[in-house]
Amino acid sequence: MQLRIISPTGVRFEGEVQRVSLPGTKAPFVVLRSHAPLISSLTAGEIVYTDAAGAEASIGIEGGFVEVCRDKIVVCVE
């Protein structure tokens, strides 16, 4: 899956990932390959992702939105 995390200051991450955990407004959720399309708001918390090599990393956010479609995840954060 391709993950792109963008903020007002620029691209914070772009690359291939195995999974992404996101702090949804209603509840945290995980996106895996072939996930159903969705658009969701995000609350303050951490985006945790596992890259293609299996290494885990995280980015703290204050909120934002995510769109998932055809194994492409675009996250707009503050």
State how many domains the chain has: 1
The confidence score (pLDDT) of residue 18 equals 97
Please report which confidence band the pLDDT of residue 4 belongs to, taking 50, 70 and 90 as the band edges.
very high
The residue type of 2 is Q
How far, in Å, CA of 44 to CA of 33, rounded?
24
Phi, psi of 56 (to 5 degrees): -100, 140
Say which residue the tokens 């200051």 belong to: 9
Domain that residue 23 falls in: 2-77
> What is the pLDDT at residue 63?
97
Q: What is the pLDDT of residue 13?
A: 96
What tens digit of pLDDT does each residue of 10-63 get?
999 999 999 999 999 999 999 999 999 999 999 999 999 999 999 999 999 999
CATH number where 34 lies: 2.60.15.10
Kindly report the CA angle at 52 between 48 and 54, in degrees rounded to 5?
65
